[in-house]
């Protein structure tokens, strides 16, 4: 059972060192990763089914040249694009929020350092160290969360663009 308690203790100690803002950052990063994993799973399953359904509906049409056919094609592409992009803006917002929360942690940690300096002067290094750790750990956590989110959001956006372009080619217009 020691293999389970040791990592839990290490995470608890890390969260205590970072202060209360680190908990908010952890929840934000967790929510961001849940949404990223959901999008990746959707690309493997639901998006393929939607693309196949769109292609089937297009191929069932007898008319592919008229203005109405173009509107029907645009409707299929739009629905596909909206389904693929669903949730991406929320992920991008959470990515942008991570460094801001890290900055908030920096400010709250430095306020703690200044409080210790005002009360006991610069002679109490141990109390000042607690404030410095509350200032640096949330900053680091916010940046790590943002960097991982930026990388995956870029990857997801590129996947969406390729999938939409591929469907556009599949739903060609007869000329």
Helices 2-18 + 125-170 axis angle, to 10: 100
Residue 60 lies in a domain: yes
| Side-chain-facing half-sphere of 30: CA atoms under 13 Å | 6
Q: Please compute the mean of the pLDDT values over residues 149-173 and round it to a whole number.
A: 90
Number of structural domains (the chain) is 1
Q: Please compute the mean of the pLDDT values over residues 162-167 and round it to a whole number.
A: 91
What confidence score (pLDDT) does residue 2 get?
74
Residue 23 lies in a domain: yes
User: What gap in Å lies between CA 45 and CA 38, rounded to an integer?
Assistant: 11
Residue 52 lies in a domain: yes
Residue 144 lies in domain: 2-170
What confidence score (pLDDT) does residue 36 get?
95
pLDDT digits (tens, 9 = 90+) for 26-80: 999 999 999 999 999 999 888 889 998 988 888 888 887 888 888 988 999 999 9
Which three-class secondary structure string do you get for the chain?
CHHHHHHHHHHHHHHHHHCHHHHHHHHHHHHHHHHHHHHHHHHHCHHHHHHHHHHHHHHHCCCCCCHHHHHHHHHHHHHHHHHHHCCHHHHHHHHHHHHHHHHHHHHHHHHHHHHHHHHHHHHCHHHHHHHHHHHHHHHHHHHHHHHHHHHHHHHHHHHHHHHHHHHHHHCCCCC
Residue 39 lies in a domain: yes
Residue 57 lies in a domain: yes
Query: Which sign does the torsion angle of CA 115, 121, 127, 131 carry?
Result: positive
Residue 175 lies in a domain: no
* pTM exceeds 0.85 for this model: no
The rounded Cα 135 to chain-centroid distance in angstroms is 23
pLDDT band at 173 (very low <50, low <70, confident <90, very high): low
pLDDT digits (tens, 9 = 90+) for 103-141: 998 888 888 778 777 777 666 677 677 777 778 889 999
């Amino acid at each position: 059972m020691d293999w389970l308690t040791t990592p839990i203790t290490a995470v608890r100690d890390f969260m205590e060192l970072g202060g209360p803002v680190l908990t908010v950052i952890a929840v934000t990063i967790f929510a961001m990763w849940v949404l990223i994993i959901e999008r990746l799973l959707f690309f493997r399953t639901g998006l393929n089914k939607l693309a196949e359904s769109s292609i089937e509906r297009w191929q069932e049409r007898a008319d592919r040249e008229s203005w109405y056919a173009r509107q029907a094609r645009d409707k299929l592409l739009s629905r596909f694009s909206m389904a693929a992009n669903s949730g991406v803006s929320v992920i991008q917002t959470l990515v942008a929020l991570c460094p801001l929360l890290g900055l908030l942690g920096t400010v709250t940690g430095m306020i703690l350092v200044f409080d210790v300096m005002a009360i006991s002067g610069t002679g109490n290094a141990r109390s000042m160290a607690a404030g410095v750790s509350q200032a640096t750990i949330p900053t680091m956590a916010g940046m790590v969360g943002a960097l991982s989110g930026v990388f995956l959001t870029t990857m997801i956006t590129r996947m969406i663009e390729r999938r939409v372009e591929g469907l556009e080619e599949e739903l060609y217009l007869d000329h």
